[in-house]
Amino acid sequence: MGKVIGINSGIVGAAGTAGAAKAAPGAVAGAMQHPEKIAVGSRVTADFVTGALDPGPPPTSWAGAGGYAVKTGLDWHKDRFGR
């Protein structure tokens, strides 16, 4: 009985993976209909990373300020606890 349950679980898992592969082209097509949203998302991500990793003032955006705040918090933690 245990073998049957294990085999059935494998079949269900494989079917779930195939379903995700079929849904992926639809997600890509939906994203390509709105390229301006992709551009805004990549700019926000770039500002956050620049604020978190680059020395000096952060970019003048909410994402840049957030990245700078994370960097400041991590620096404080390293100074305080030495890790």
Taking only the tens place, the pLDDT of each residue in 45-76 is 888 888 988 888 888 899 999 999 999 999 99
CA dihedral (45, 51, 55, 57) positive or negative: positive
Count of Cβ atoms closer than 10 Å to residue 68 Cβ: 20
21 within a domain of the structure (yes/no): yes
**Taking the mean position of all CA atoms in its chain, how far away is CA 70?**
16
63 within a domain of the structure (yes/no): yes
Mean pLDDT of 13-39: 62
Domain that holds residue 61: 11-82
5 within a domain of the structure (yes/no): no
What is the distance between the alpha carbons of residues 17 and 8, in angstroms, rounded to a whole number? 14
The residue that leads in pLDDT, 58 or 13, is 58
51 within a domain of the structure (yes/no): yes
Total domains in the fold of the chain? 1
56 within a domain of the structure (yes/no): yes
4 within a domain of the structure (yes/no): no
What is the distance between the alpha carbons of residues 9 and 2, in angstroms, rounded to a whole number? 11
Helix and strand tally (H, E) in the chain?
3, 0
67 within a domain of the structure (yes/no): yes
Predicted TM-score (pTM) above 0.75? no
Mean pLDDT of 5-20: 52
